[in-house]
Amino acid sequence: MVPILKYILKRGLQSFFTLIFVISIAFILLRFMPEEGYFGDDYEKLDENQKEAILENLGLKDPIYIQLLNFYKQLISGDLGKSIKYRPGIPVYEILRLKIPYSVKFGLSAMGISLIIGIPMGILMVAYKDSIIERLGMVYILLVNSIPAAIYFIILQIYITRVLKLPILFSEENPMSWILPAFSMSLGGIGSYAMWMRRYLMDEVNKDYAQLARAKGLTRRGIMVNHLLRNAFVPMSQYLPSGILFTIAGSIYIESLYSIPGMGGLLVEAIQGQDNPLVQILVIIYSSIGIFGLLLGDILMATLDPRIKLDSMAGGGQ
């Protein structure tokens, strides 16, 4: 078998079994949540016999392994269950179908901003090392990573909306209301991409081939463009798929803060409303995104970097 295909198959199987494990754990843990999450608003009006009958009808009185097996059968058939409290009786699929487009639009916008600003920032920090540019970049990275995100999100929402006359909450009819949420969602990504690009680029600058290129008389710009950037981007590419997927999935806090009707805000509302079936599916979706993102990152890095020994990485040994 071709090494790259063998590696993809190996990592795919590992990711699949990891996903099964995560889904099973999430399912079991949610079964320890209060039983009110499986009833509507009339829970207090029901007597014990009625409650027991409803739980029995939902299969929640079966042994846990039977419940888990039935749940997998539902997933395979495409049945994600129905909401109990958020939108009683409505299939979870229908709810997600309305929420996902908002998260995708904001996620792609934020991802674009992060890449457009973050990667050039990291490059400039290396190109102008020990200058005011690098110091300002490091200050930004430190602030974004050390201050709780909720603090600067709220500061932006309160003060920037006043200064720039932007809407404080999202409105689908007002394009201006998209600006601040997308920009806020990108702040962490800008810092991360700048930090990783600077780190990997600095590693390349100090390697022998870069020193040799300088000794041959190549310009600093030529070395940066033709050699350093390409090699520095390879290890950084490992983080791109998971970053893209998580951003598209939506920012839980940002969507709630700006009243964006996306998946992030939905998870908060489902948890607050104790809608266990809806929470269960959303937890599984976010877990799947994380695992799938890591898988794509590993495959992308293995594909771009010919120095990686695929047979060894796939467990074949040499």
Q: What is the pLDDT of residues 154-177, one digit of tens each?
A: 888 888 888 888 888 888 888 899
Which of 12-16, 69-73, 258-262, 267-271 is predicted with the least confidence, judged by mean pLDDT? 267-271
Report, in this order, helix, strand and coil percent for the chain, each rounded to 5: 75, 0, 25
193-245 pLDDT tens trace: 898 888 888 877 777 777 777 777 776 666 676 667 777 777 777 767 666 66
For residue 242, the model assigns a pLDDT of 64
**Tokens representing residue 133 in the block:** 């540019």
For residue 288, the model assigns a pLDDT of 83
Cβ–Cβ under 8 Å, residues 193 and 115 = yes
pLDDT band at 312 (very low <50, low <70, confident <90, very high): very low
Residue 317 has pLDDT above 50, yes or no: no
Residues paired with 245 in a beta bridge: none
When pLDDT is averaged across residues 259-286 and rounded to a whole number, the result is 83
When pLDDT is averaged across residues 254-258 and rounded to a whole number, the result is 85
For residue 136, the model assigns a pLDDT of 95
**Tokens representing residue 149 in the block:** 């995100």
Nearest in space to 298 (alpha carbons), one of 12, 22, 17? 12
Mean residue pLDDT across the chain: 81
Cβ–Cβ under 8 Å, residues 305 and 1 = no
**At residue 219, what are phi and psi to the nearest 5 degrees?**
-70, 155
For residue 270, the model assigns a pLDDT of 84
Share of the chain above pLDDT 70, in %: 86
Query: Across 35-39, 50-54, 194-198, 221-225, which has the greatest mean pLDDT?
Result: 194-198
**Tokens representing residue 271 in the block:** 């948890």
Residue appearing with tokens 């600058």 = 205
pLDDT band at 139 (very low <50, low <70, confident <90, very high): very high
Say which residue, 46 or 165, is predicted with more confidence.
165
Residue 314 has pLDDT above 70, yes or no: no
When pLDDT is averaged across residues 67-81 and rounded to a whole number, the result is 88
**Tokens representing residue 146 in the block:** 């050390």
For residue 318, the model assigns a pLDDT of 38
Determine the Cα–Cα distance for residues 184 and 286; give it in Å rounded to an integer. Answer: 21
For residue 247, the model assigns a pLDDT of 65
Share of the chain above pLDDT 90, in %: 8
Q: Is 231 exposed, middle or buried (CB count within 10 Å of its CB: 0-12, 13-18, 19+)?
A: middle
Determine the Cα–Cα distance for residues 186 and 26; give it in Å rounded to an integer. Answer: 29
Q: Is 268 exposed, middle or buried (CB count within 10 Å of its CB: 0-12, 13-18, 19+)?
A: middle
Domains present along the chain, CATH in parentheses: 92-272 (1.10.3720.10)
